[in-house]
Chains A and B, each alone.
Chain A
Amino acid sequence: MARMKFLCDADRCIECNACVTACKNEHEVPWGINRRRVVTINDGKPGERSVSMACMHCTDAPCQAVCPVNCFYTTADGVVLHSKDLCIGCGYCFYACPFGAPQYPKVGNFGSRGKMDKCTFCAGGPEADNSPAEYAKYGANRLAEGKLPLCAEMCSTKSLLAGDGEIIAQIYKERVVKRGYGSGAWGWKTAYREIVAS
Chain B
Amino acid sequence: MTTLVARFLMIVGAFALLALVIGAQPVSAQQPTMVNPQASSVKEDQLFQQLDRISGRCTLPDQKACTIEQPAGRDWRNFHGVTLRWIGGIAILGILAVLVIFYLWRGMVRIENGRSGRTIVRFNAFERFVHWMTSTCFIILAVSGLNITFGRPVLLPLMSPEAFTAWSEWAKYAHNYLSFPFTLGVILIFFMWIAGNIPNRVDVEWFKRGGGIVGHDRPPAYRFNGGQKMIYWIVVLGGTAVAVSGYVLMFPFYGTGIQNMQVAEITHGIVAMLFVAAMIGHIYIGTIGMEGAFEAMGTGTVDLNWAKEHHSLWLEDERARREPTDLQRRASTTPAE
Contacts and interface: CB of A to CB of B under 8 A. Distances in A.
B168 A69 contact: yes
B54 A41 contact: yes
B156 A96 contact: no
B55 A95 contact: no
Interface string B143-170: 0000111011000100001101100110
A190 B70 CA distance: 9
Name B's interface SS: helix
A106 to B, nearest CB: 11
A117 B109 CA distance: 56
A135 interface: no
A148 to B, nearest CB: 22
A17 B57 contact: no
B86 interface: no
B319 interface: no
B64 A100 contact: yes
A66 B80 CA distance: 7
Contact of B162 (A37, A41, A86, A94): A86
A189 B71 CA distance: 10
B156 A69 contact: yes
Contacts of B68: 39, 41, 51, 53, 99-100, 186-187
Contact of B177 (A41, A88, A110, A113): A110
A167 interface: no
Interface in A50-87: 50-51, 53, 62, 65-71, 83, 85-87
A66 B172 contact: no
Contacts of A42: 42, 56
B139 interface: no
A71 B168 CA distance: 12
29 contacts: A32-B62, A37-B58, A37-B65, A38-B59, A39-B67, A41-B47, A42-B42, A47-B42, A51-B68, A68-B168, A70-B161, A71-B161, A83-B161, A85-B165, A88-B165, A88-B172, A97-B73, A98-B69, A98-B70, A98-B72, A98-B73, A99-B69, A99-B70, A100-B70, A111-B173, A181-B37, A187-B69, A189-B44, A198-B45
Interface of B: 36-45, 47, 54-62, 64-74, 76-77, 80-81, 147-149, 151-152, 156, 161-162, 164-165, 168-169, 172-173, 175-177, 249-253, 258, 261-262, 265
Interface of A: 10-11, 17, 32, 34, 37-43, 46-51, 53, 62, 65-71, 83, 85-92, 94-100, 108-111, 113, 180-184, 186-187, 189-190, 198
Given A11-B41, A187-B68, 14 more contacts: A32-B62, A38-B59, A39-B57, A39-B68, A40-B58, A43-B56, A49-B41, A71-B165, A99-B68, A100-B65, A100-B68, A109-B250, A109-B252, A111-B250
